[in-house]
A and B are shown apart, each in its own frame.
Chain A
Amino acid sequence: MAKKLKEVLDDAGISMDLQYGGESPEGLTEREIKKSPHPRVQKLKDIFMDTLSSANNEFPYWYTREYMMHDNEIPVVRRAKALRTAFSHLTPVIFPGELLVMRKASFFRGSFPMPWLSEGFYMAHEDDFYQEALKRGSASVDEHSKFGQGGGNVTKSFGKVISIAGKFGMRQEEVPALLKLAKMWAGKSVDDLGNKYEKMVPEYPVKEQIMRSIVCMFDSGFTLPQGREVINYYYPLEYGFDGIIKMATELKAEVAGKADGDGMVGMNRLYNYEAVIIALQGVQNWIANYSKEARRLEKLTTDKIQKKEYKEIADRLDWIEHNPPRTFIEALQMIETIHLAVLNEDAISGMSPGRIGQILYPYFEQDIEAGRITEDEVIELLELDRLVKTSIDCFASTGVVGGVLSGNTFNTVSIGGVDRFGQSAVNRLEYLILEAAVRNAMPQSTIALLYDEKIPEDFLMLAMDVIKSGAGYPAFMNSPIAQEFLMKQYGPEGMNLEDARAWAIGGCLETSPCAWKPLHLNGKEYFIPGGAGQPTSVGVHFISMPKVLELTLFNGVDPRTNEKVYEPHNRKLNSYDEVWDQFTKYWQKSVEVLAWTNNIQHDIWRKNNMAVINSLLKPDCLDNGHLINELGYRYNGTFNIESAGTITLVNSLAALKKLVFDDKVVTLAKLKEAIKDNFGFKDAREVNSFSLADQEKRDDSAGKWEELHFKTLQAPKYGNDDKYADEILLQWENFFCEDSSKYESLYGLKMYPCQISVSTHGAMGSATLATPDGRLSGTTFADASMSAYPGTDRNGPYALLNSATIWDHSKSQNSQLNIKIHPTAVRGIEGSRKLLDLTRAYMRKGGFHVQYNIVDSKVLKDAQLNPKNYRDLMVRVAGFTQYWVEIGKSVQDELISRTEYEGV
């Protein structure tokens, strides 16, 4: 049997010890904190755990049918009409025991395709899908109803269910309709039109090569045109839907026929207000249909309690269809409805509710004071909210949903932070949000704690308990650092300190601009925070830094495919500085061409597919009459440049510098030869493991590269407070943060860096050869942007924190550090205190984000072998929490192999 790298190194007396600070106890160690949800929630959760991701055509059918009737209409009105018809026809589904109702589609965990964004995916598979749909039908659904290792993922077709994108199940009866709808959008979708025009960019061939070689992970213009932002619930909460329609109607009369000094888009305000009214009518119809369904069920059921609950649901829906909410439960139902409405308007991942504890506090405070609700009832509702959010799926292609997102939808809730005056914003409801999150531990909503020195100690200690439950949340985000970033990026658009303090996380950890608005409830005024910026899912996403280095070393040619990606540089690369210089040139070429082509895609999106519902929610669209596409939002400079593989690049540059240029123990030519030969190992896909330690030697390698490979592995590594490697990180960050502002979004505003990996470190690693740091071909890159490469951080957690904070994190939208700790290392109150001290130390050093996986690596290994026993096991990946069974193997392998801290 072929030897694994771990065994090869053991033979050589080199340990690949992935534990630091002691040894973990034998056997599997459970997490310390475990709680259960309310029985009602548990019952619904049990359903969720056995639910498949399901898709149907109802929304796209009605959208397309209406849209195609109005080819002479103003684009924004045409879109609003299509949205109204689609929302009005969504079939309501309500499940017994629910208190918060409404779903994306007519399933417990439903979604649907949007062929107006991209239809090519279905068209390319037309024959396969169609034939499969017709052929199947004899097999029994019952026989396969337990199908689907991987939680709710429908990874393969079975019975009358067709797997789409390796994730969603669609009934075979619907597949021909999907193909018919897709055909109707051929040549008209954002994808097709965008591609038609992006080809006019002279450098377009480079872009195509970049995509083919997986230097870049995806086009943001038609995959997920919105998201990674903070929604704003203010206007419906303050005015109700009728109030907004009244406002838009009055404003329509005010602006009709008037440019008001704006000869470009001043006249558009009339059409925009008209579109707002039409789209909201659709949302109202949708709510009304749910109310009718609740009343139908009220009549149908014989259970008295259930009957009463259906009636109350219907009454609540009838009220919020027109009016601002009066109570906590009405407000929660309303924001749930708005949230789903926005998610149905566009393909969105990362529509974050923001600081809902502060948004809902007025209702909570007054209901508690009046005795209308108890804290226990609030917790139950918050537990139900987690179920609703976790049931949200985002329908997109395999590469996007699987390769980038791991199926996650990033409905992140933020807690903490400061108020308008800089004082702690923590309130009693946020304690209950944490309590609900530990009782009903589910991936959504992931929680971001906006850390400030003024946050109460007992709140932070409660957060530690939640972390120790193994939920992977809350993550800690540095509020002052975020505010510094926001002031720098959005200062030119008028951001002041007060607005900067309103910030929240959009997506997994994207610092997003927000604003305060005055909410009035029973004569009392409260200032609530909410999103005020465009999506940050837009721009250049994601560029593989190790791949760009690989192309630098191989003169612009991808050695994996032998295709030319960049023009050959023909440089000798005789010094580290020359390597660095060429690397930055290829990086800049990538960003430049991707920014231009993505700008075109987004421009097509804004012309035909603009957000109407999301726009009307965001300050200051209703006031100024302009939607997202006309810079109606208060903050519009949100386009960013996302990197992936930071630490793999840093370690690779450190190894090159040390071995080739400083110590001269190997020539660059020899090192490149070793890289091409994968240091004598098999490719990770052949081994079917994506962690370095598990890689197997090829039989024909005969130890040719063994010595060199050892040296690359022992070269300086990031995460050890070793300046040799850390200064390369500093060099990169200084370059990246300044360079990003040189690129311009279609809105004419400068871009900025975003440093998250999501799941791209798995997919991108898979397309990259061995790297000079000793990482082998096809294996996963280091997670996130500040996490150490597995097994290379050998000087303890504080050394890792020092390495990570060698640069100024406020120059970037974010950074990302994940640490894996064995449960015994943080056991008890003392353990919580140590964990808080570690976190606080990082925040005080200026680190932006840290989060922990409190888990025994042996449990993860067991879960990989026996997934059926671990349906509810959750882990932290990059910036999000996800069910272990729903993430890909490459990312699982990386998680298992991360250094496990046995003490902190």
Chain B
Amino acid sequence: MKNLIYKDTRNYSPIDVTKGVDLLTGKIVMADNTAPENYELRPKCKFCQNYKEENEFNGECEASMSDPKFFAYGDMDSVTCGMYKQIN
């Protein structure tokens, strides 16, 4: 994966909705700035095989047990989700 923005990487700890700490440099960086190339992808619904996008921000979680499937939103963290399967 190239051109990840900071908030889509695991090397970033969010301080607030605009910025966070770059955990490798210790510097405060903007959430939407591009991170260095080698930074690790942050598990999020939008990077998960179970996420079926329906519109710009929302979709459906195919792994949900409910019928119909429960919605999901692409930008949600999946760091703690046991059903997360990273897309190739």
Q: Is A884 engaged at the interface, CB distance under 8 Å to the other chain?
A: no
A107 interface neighbour in B17, B64, B72, Cβ under 8 Å = B17
A93 interface neighbour in B13, B58, B72, Cβ under 8 Å = B13
A54 interface neighbour in B16, B24, B57, B77, Cβ under 8 Å = B16
Q: A65-B70, A177-B57 are in contact. Are A90 and B23 (CB under 8 A)?
A: no
Most B CB within 10 A of own CB, among A133, A160, A173, A301: A173
Q: Which residues of A contact B87 (CB under 8 A)?
A: none
Q: Which residues of B contact A289 (CB under 8 A)?
A: 79-80
Q: How far is the CA of A328 from the CA of B52 in the complex (A)?
A: 48
Residue of A nearest to B71 (CB): A180
A172 to chain B, nearest CB (A): 8
Q: Is A707 engaged at the interface, CB distance under 8 Å to the other chain?
A: no
Q: Is A370 engaged at the interface, CB distance under 8 Å to the other chain?
A: no
Residue of A nearest to B46 (CB): A173
A471 to chain B, nearest CB (A): 25
Q: Which residues of B contact A430 (CB under 8 A)?
A: none
A-binding residues in B (CB < 8 A)? 10-11, 13-19, 21, 23-24, 26, 28, 30-33, 55-58, 64-66, 70-77, 79-81
Q: Is A170 engaged at the interface, CB distance under 8 Å to the other chain?
A: yes
Q: How far is the CA of A897 from the CA of B26 in the complex (A)?
A: 45
Q: How far is the CA of A168 from the CA of B80 in the complex (A)?
A: 24
Q: Which residues of A contact B64 (CB under 8 A)?
A: 65
B65 touches A69 (CB 8 A): yes
A106 touches B16 (CB 8 A): no
Interface secondary structure of B, over-half rule: loop
Q: Which residues of A contact B80 (CB under 8 A)?
A: 88-92, 289
B57 touches A89 (CB 8 A): no
A176 touches B17 (CB 8 A): no
B76 touches A51 (CB 8 A): no
A108 interface neighbour in B16, B55, B72, Cβ under 8 Å = B16
B79 touches A173 (CB 8 A): no
Q: Which residues of A contact B57 (CB under 8 A)?
A: 133, 172-177
Q: Which residues of B contact A305 (CB under 8 A)?
A: none
B44 to chain A, nearest CB (A): 10
Q: How far is the CA of A547 from the CA of B54 in the complex (A)?
A: 51
17 further A-B pairs in the complex, CB-CB below 8 A; given A142-B32, A174-B76 = A52-B16, A54-B17, A57-B73, A57-B76, A91-B79, A91-B80, A95-B21, A96-B26, A106-B14, A142-B33, A145-B30, A154-B17, A176-B55, A176-B57, A296-B10, A297-B23, A300-B23
A95 touches B18 (CB 8 A): no
Q: A141-B32, A177-B58, A300-B24 are in contact. Are A169 and B16 (CB under 8 A)?
A: yes
Which residues of chain A (107-136) have a CB below 8 Å from chain B? 107-110, 133-134
A829 to chain B, nearest CB (A): 42
B30 touches A47 (CB 8 A): no
B73 touches A174 (CB 8 A): yes
B21 touches A169 (CB 8 A): no
A174 interface neighbour in B26, B33, B75, B81, Cβ under 8 Å = B75
Q: Is A559 engaged at the interface, CB distance under 8 Å to the other chain?
A: no
Q: A141-B30, A300-B11 are in contact. Are A177 and B17 (CB under 8 A)?
A: no
Most A CB within 10 A of own CB, among B13, B19, B26: B13
B76 interface neighbour in A52, A54, A58, Cβ under 8 Å = A58
A292 to chain B, nearest CB (A): 9
Q: How far is the CA of A89 from the CA of B73 in the complex (A)?
A: 14
